[in-house]
Structure 1
Amino acid sequence: MPEGTCGRVIGRYALFDALATGGMATVHFGRLLGPVGFARTVAIKRLHPQYASDPEFVSMFLDEARMCARIRHPNVVPTLDVVATKGELFLVMEYIHGESLGLLMKTLTKRGERMPWKIAVSVLAGTLHGLHAAHEAKDERGIPLALVHRDVSPQNVLVGVDGMARVVDFGIAKATGRLHVTRENAVKGKLGYMAPEQMAAESITRQADVYSAAVVLWEALAGKRLFEGESEAVILSRVLTGEVKVPSSLTSDVPKELDEIVMKGLSREVGVRFKTAKEFALALERLGPAALGDVGDWVERTAGASLERRSSRVAEVENDPQELTPSGTTDPPPDASASRDGRPSQSGSVRYIPAPKGSAEKTPATGGLSLKSGAKTAQWIAIGVVGVAAVATVGGWAIASRGPSEVAAAQNTGSAATTSTATSTPSTAVAMGTSTAASTATPQTATSTSATASAMSSTSNGALPAPSGSAPRAWGSGSSKSPGPVVSSKKSPFDLGGRN
């Protein structure tokens, strides 16, 4: 059974099917499991286990979480939480129903179609606004992070069915205050989208992301890769010295004004490019991009089949009648975890949630009884114990309230009555002494309960059992002429308001 078919519970999240896989991590969709039935669908990025023990990759992963938490913009996928188990790391993000721009472009290429230029302009304008928010991000003290994404590509732009483009994956972003520092002369990113200065391992600025976004826009308009080659060396050479044609030379419907904007963003001279991503975005928006609703419709037409499959799967999980309960504790190490059949699991999971379709699997520890039914049984047992203790306490209180005259009369009764009283009194005393621990039932409590219940059932309308040879007296009906039970002026803690 492929991983994700059953939900794996990590803390307060359930992990399900994989949405995308990269060299460093896999993104799954999951569910946030809150109290009183609250739940929310999320995306969970899981660092590959082989990297979870590598300090360099762990620091990169945690840096991504820290930086994303400082970026608040509708064109950036927000980070919600970080889960660190013993041996694994998970990054929890908002779930966006949509597809990556890379997949959408591949789908169009297979069909022999091209993206309408207004759609492309709208998607890249949103992407640029998200990048600008990242470039302007500040830390908790208000100091600019000087963040540069460094990996702007079609794969890292998510286009939702709501028409919004969102930037994802800040895993290799450059920023001030990172725990992980890139090794000297190390080049990070995808070669075909890197700015020339980034390839030279020079000091880079936000304008490197401006260049990468211009490459993505060129490819969206032209329907092909801008820089291709049989090897990395060939791609590198073409990025640095290769000729770049204007998009309108490959597709006639692209306006000349758009050509100028694209080529300015693609300039190899940093000073010629747009100074900021926002400046680039505003230039595109002046051309009249498609509305968000039109972009969303285009996404559904282009990737309708895959979106429908994912929607069905998400709906199955969201409507799963099985009760999902967060574990509440951190997962143990992978070698200490158990699979559904009780044997150690290689994936480091702790507890599995059945898939929506479900099968009548038995839990070895309960002999086939579900935990849910066991919990209900425990609840009824607890209610019964509390009820027994309450009855015993009320009966003991009532008997203890009897007046001295009645006690004296009871002592003058026959031997049978004396024996009965001697049997019930110690039990009642035990019940009164243990009334504060209502959750614990003892044989003595059970005896006192039986005696008290018998005494109460022999009377009617709340009358106390009378001593031998005397008439029954109503509760609290003693008069000044004849001795009666002593009635306290304070209400009993068990009084519901009907008696004083």
Structure 2
Amino acid sequence: MEAISDNPARPSGALPATSPLGSDALYPGQKLGRYTLLVPVAQGGMARVWAARQSGQRGFQKIVAIKTIMPALAADPEFERMFLDEARIAAAVHHPNVCEIHDLGEVGDVLFLAMEWVDGISLLTLLKARPRTPLEDPVAVRIVADACAGLHAAHELRDDNGYPLNVVHRDVSPHNILLSINGQVKVADFGVAKAMGLEHAPTVAGQLKGKVAYMSPEQAVGDTTVDRRSDIFSMGAVLYEALTGYRAWAGANDVARLQNLLAGNIIPPKQVRPDIPQDLENILAYSLAIDPARRYQTAEQMRMALEKYLVSRSMMVSASNVANSVRMLCGREIEIRQAQIRQAAAAIPDETMGMPGASVEPYSVQYRSRGMRRSTATAITFVAGGITIAGIMGIVAVSSLPSAPAATPPTVASNPPTQTASLAPPPPQNPNIIVVRPSPSDAEIEVNHVILGKGVRSFDRPEPGQTHTVVVRAPGFETATLTINHDATESEWSVELTPSPDAAASAVSPPATATPTAPPTTVVAPQPPPAATPTTPVVKPTPKTGKTPAIPDNPF
């Protein structure tokens, strides 16, 4: 929560008894229902965050964060939609590594979120405290591993009927990873996240949301079907910066960065930091692959890789190690803000009844005028989840961290990055990774009740004594289920689904049997439809042709 100084506080003796409740009228001492604004702590292009005092019965008090839309944007329906979507998504996530939301309210023209107060800084602030200097490897790994845990919780979010919401954060960056003075790590700011089932229209094609310095290639080209793997790429960019002190792709401005990203000009980590451990470079390679199919398929996979690195080095790294770095590099800044909040709290009287005409009882604000169903709004106010509190919408839009030495002048790619745009030729197949190739190609793949997405998907081989249950499904086809154990001799599997009886009767399709995946140059002629009842799907390992994409050991 970086302090800002562009909103001078009024003297406590000059606070008016009443005030207009427009967004531009907010000031220290302003009351929003049971919340009293104390000190403005963060501001970006879209939102402002205040430290505020929550008051309750019998002298109850606590410090919370209040987030409001910037005055110039308060009347814009699009930004209001994003604000409400943030509340919907964040309120449903329950995880210690995701910021918690307490309340959603509206007083006059002010729409606000009451959130968990994280007494600390953003990862961006920690990185800027020592420009060109990486964090200690154990601390960087612990921060990113904990952030992956919170991100995975958001990705796994399901609706009331148990269907996945396919949440994508779309703005994973050092700005939105918060570090408390006690070493807790929190993922924040779901303001540009997307999810299934929202009442408002999603981002339109060609509209970029997020920060170019941490954006995935598919997000950069405006792909509206991005999935959780886009966030994994962004988390890889965060890890790269924490381990090297530089950003993964150079550029003096967003346009130059976008050009380098789309050209695949990711600077090899060893070029920036020759002593980086090979295991960490491999993790960066897996997370920063241009082709989403080559990346870690879930944030949990990336977290486990980071945890295994710590175990392999016999490193016991906890929140106390993160706390030591926060205090050492940014302790003075945190102390100054704490003093400002104490001073404001002492100077502003605690009137628990609020101003005349502005008191709002808990959970009684009018949500319907903001386009929310009352049932949805009520659920949001009762459920705790995650939200931003510091670095909201980019307190500093572009970090002052220097870029690494510029690479070869890039050319702008006219098409979305593909397998051919990977950072290096595909290496030999990794036996510890299982790859499933479905037919039809847009079939959905689920592993151990976790939906990985559509098309080719890869995941870790199960540990000894364990198995993975893989479910492949697609509309118009029979669902196929297979079990893969640790001792499976093959690491690539082709699954050809059988058309359902209704689909087989109305369309001509190949036989409903699984066959080895042919090399890309081979063309297989369609066969007549089966004359009898569709057969049970057959699953066979894919031959090791060496031409199929696999997660690279090191694409740098």
Q: State the TM-score, normalized to the length of structure 1.
A: 0.63
1:3 is displaced (CA, Å) by 3.9
Structure 1 window deviating more from structure 2 (51-60 vs 34-43): it is 51-60
Determine if the alignment matches structure 1 residue 325 to structure 2 residue 347: no
Q: Deviations over 1:421-440 (max 9, x none)?
A: xxxxxxxxxxxxxxxxxxxx
1:325 is displaced (CA, Å) by 2.0
The residue identity in structure 2 corresponding to 1:315 is R
1:321 is displaced (CA, Å) by 8.3
Residue of 78, 89, 93 corresponding to 2:115: 93
Residue of 102, 112, 128 corresponding to 2:148: 128
Determine if the alignment matches structure 1 residue 105 to structure 2 residue 121: no
1:158 is displaced (CA, Å) by 0.5
SS class of match (1:183): coil
1:51 is displaced (CA, Å) by 1.6
Task: Give the structure 1 partner of residue 213 of structure 2.
Answer: 192
Task: Give the structure 2 partner of residue 226 of structure 1.
Answer: 248
The residue identity in structure 2 corresponding to 1:314 is I
SS class of match (1:17): strand
Residue of 196, 199, 220 corresponding to 1:179: 199
- Residues 60 and 179, structure 1, Cα contact 8 Å, conserved in 2: no
C-alpha distance 39-4 of structure 1, shift in aligned 2 (>3 A): farther
Determine if the alignment matches structure 1 residue 62 to structure 2 residue 84: yes
Query: How many residue pairs are counted as aligned between the two chains?
Result: 330
- In the TM superposition, what are the counterparts of 1:345-424 in structure 2 within 5 Å? none
Determine if the alignment matches structure 1 residue 169 to structure 2 residue 169: no
1:319 is displaced (CA, Å) by 5.3
Determine if the alignment matches structure 1 residue 302 to structure 2 residue 329: yes
C-alpha separation in 2, matches of 1:196 and 1:318: 46
SS class of match (1:108): coil
SS class of match (1:239): helix
Task: Give the structure 2 partner of residue 278 of structure 1.
Answer: 300
Higher helix share: 1
The residue identity in structure 1 corresponding to 2:53 is R
Higher RCO (CA 8 Å, separation ≥ 6 residues): 2
Structure 1 window deviating more from structure 2 (45-54 vs 296-305): it is 45-54
Task: Give the structure 1 partner of residue 266 of structure 2.
Answer: 244
Query: Which sections of structure 2, spanning at least 5 residues, go unmatched?
Result: 1-6, 12-27, 360-556
SS class of match (1:60): helix
The residue identity in structure 2 corresponding to 1:2 is P
Query: Which sections of structure 1, spanning at least 5 residues, go unmatched?
Result: 333-500
C-alpha separation in 2, matches of 1:220 and 1:148: 22
The residue identity in structure 2 corresponding to 1:245 is I
Task: Give the structure 2 partner of residue 314 of structure 1.
Answer: 341
Determine if the alignment matches structure 1 residue 78 to structure 2 residue 105: no
- Residues 157 and 167, structure 1, Cα contact 8 Å, conserved in 2: yes
Task: Give the structure 1 partner of residue 135 of structure 2.
Answer: 115
- Residues 10 and 326, structure 1, Cα contact 8 Å, conserved in 2: no
- Residues 10 and 330, structure 1, Cα contact 8 Å, conserved in 2: no
Bigger Rg over Cα? 1
- In the TM superposition, what are the counterparts of 1:449-468 in structure 2 within 5 Å? none
1:38 is displaced (CA, Å) by 0.3
C-alpha distance 294-230 of structure 1, shift in aligned 2 (>3 A): closer
- Residues 11 and 330, structure 1, Cα contact 8 Å, conserved in 2: no
- Residues 133 and 244, structure 2, Cα contact 8 Å, conserved in 1: no
Q: State the TM-score, normalized to the length of structure 2.
A: 0.57
Q: Deviations over 1:106-162 (max 9, x none)?
A: 1111xx643111111010001111110000112233332110000011101101112
- Residues 82 and 92, structure 1, Cα contact 8 Å, conserved in 2: yes
C-alpha distance 272-51 of structure 1, shift in aligned 2 (>3 A): same
Q: CA RMSD in A?
A: 2.0
Higher strand share: 2
C-alpha separation in 2, matches of 1:32 and 1:39: 5
C-alpha distance 118-197 of structure 1, shift in aligned 2 (>3 A): same
- Residues 30 and 43, structure 1, Cα contact 8 Å, conserved in 2: yes
Q: Deviations over 1:303-340 (max 9, x none)?
A: 011101112223334556833324277649xxxxxxxx
